[in-house]
């Protein structure tokens, strides 16, 4: 059915995600992360290119997807994968994720309390 009409080509899909990530639209950050995941997980036998992964992840961070990109940025900075090793910056990135998560949970609690 549907599988027979849409060819399976993960390398082409990742290429399309990379192209879309360079555009200006609301989910460009999402597409940058999807492209990065393609390289991280070797989808379609793509190479593990940490420099490219770092570029795509930083692109996602600049396009309204920073909260989703920060854990990866932190990991890459702590381990020097595709970027200059900078443990302090890596820890700051991870701390920012925790701060944002705490803020979101507090906001969720306020919304829940106001509706009950």
Residue 75: which CATH number? 1.25.40.10
Which tops the pLDDT comparison, 4 or 107? 107
DSSP 65: -
pLDDT at residue 111 greater than cutoff 80: no
* Tokens encoding 19: 């192209």
Counted domains in the chain: 1
The structure's pTM equals 0.75
- Segment 98-107 long-range contacts (CB within 8 Å, at least 24 positions apart): 100/67, 100/70
Expressed as residue numbers, the domain containing 48 is 2-115
104 — pLDDT class (breaks 50, 70, 90): confident
């Amino acid at each position: 059915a549907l599988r027979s009409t849409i060819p399976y080509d993960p390398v082409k899909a990742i290429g399309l995600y990379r192209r879309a990530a360079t555009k200006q639209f609301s989910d460009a950050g999402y597409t940058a992360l999807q492209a990065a995941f393609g390289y991280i997980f070797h989808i379609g036998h793509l190479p593990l290119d940490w420099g490219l992964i770092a570029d795509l992840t930083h692109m996602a961070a600049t396009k309204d997807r920073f909260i989703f990109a920060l854990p990866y940025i932190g990991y890459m900075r702590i381990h020097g994968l595709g970027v200059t090793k900078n443990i302090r910056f890596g820890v700051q990135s991870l701390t920012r994720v925790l701060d944002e998560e705490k803020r979101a949970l507090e906001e969720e609690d306020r919304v829940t309390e106001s509706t009950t």
